[in-house]
Amino acid sequence: MSGQPDSPRLATTLCGLSLTNPVIAASGTFAYGVEFAGILNLNHLGGFVVKGLSREPIKGNPPPRLFEAEAGMLNSIGLQNIGVRAFCEEKLPQLRGLKTRIFANVFGYAQEDYVEVVRVLEDHEGVDAYELNVSCPNTKHGGMFFSSDPVLLGSLVGAVRAAASRPLIVKLSPNVARIQPLAETAASAGASAISLVNTILALAVDAHTRKPRLGAGFGGLSGPAIKPIALRMVYEAAQAVTIPIVGIGGIASGIDAAEFLIAGATAVQVGTATFWDPQSPVRIARELDQFLKEEKIESVRSLTGTLEINRP
């Protein structure tokens, strides 16, 4: 196959971390990483984000949890995970020998939940950075989502930043009217980078049974259907802040990845594509390298933020 995932053209940095390429496997789609070791060479990834980690284990939502839409997928997993302590004891030791970058996705339903998860991770080697999933309702504030309230978001990011010695990426939700104020809040509160977008709240209905297709009702839409929305938000966030952006949303090819970089991203994450092609993150890195070669671009870093939009 043309292109190589470790080509010098693909080398980049994110939050001070060197990456062999800018393609990262997204949280919630790559388990804890170790499960994919027999499918692809994990060291050919720019990095991967482990399944979201919470203070205590979570069983997740009732089935069915996945539904294939016309141009994507709805999921309602419910953030099922083994809990941060079990992750550190059972999974993390198997990841320490890898050369690729390992990002720990962190979530909670109160600010102290996030801080405690990070505090536990701080006591263990093998994690390179944190990614905060802020698309959770704050149960102490009437269910208001961290991702849609700048005050809650700023407080959360600031508290975690104070507890964390590693880079801190804040994963923003597209379920807001404007992304710029939230990106600015995250940056001001100490985020090292921003990743976006998370899934879009959606609903699939079975006309015969007159019930939702998912056991929990609503789910998160991901995949090619959300790519144009994600590109727009990446561009808007990149215009609003100076910290790096990690683009997410419907990336299934090297050209898709290039588009996100051009819109303002420094790196990208691949999620839904791994459900039909588990090797897609490595394939996409190869395709991106081939694109750079054909376009006579010496470094992937020179793509970032080169989009030109003529506004009336």
Query: Roughly what angle, to the nearest 10 degrees, separates helices 254-263 and 280-294?
Result: 70
Residue 85 CB: number of other CB atoms within 10 A?
Answer: 16
Is 15 catalytic? The answer is: no
* Token pair recorded at residue 276: 């039909």
Rounded Cα distance, 184 and 167, in Å: 17
Instruction: Note whether 95 and 126 are within 8 A (CB).
Output: yes
The 10 Å CB-count burial string (b at 16+, else e) for 224-260 is: bbbbeebbebbbbbbebbebbbbbbbbbbbbebbbbb
* Token pair recorded at residue 90: 């059972």
How many angstroms separate the first and last alpha carbons of the chain?
43
* Catalytic-labelled residue, pool 17, 88, 127, 136: 136
108 contacts: CB under 8 Å, gap ≥ 6: 54, 55, 114, 116, 117, 136
The residues that are catalytic are: 136
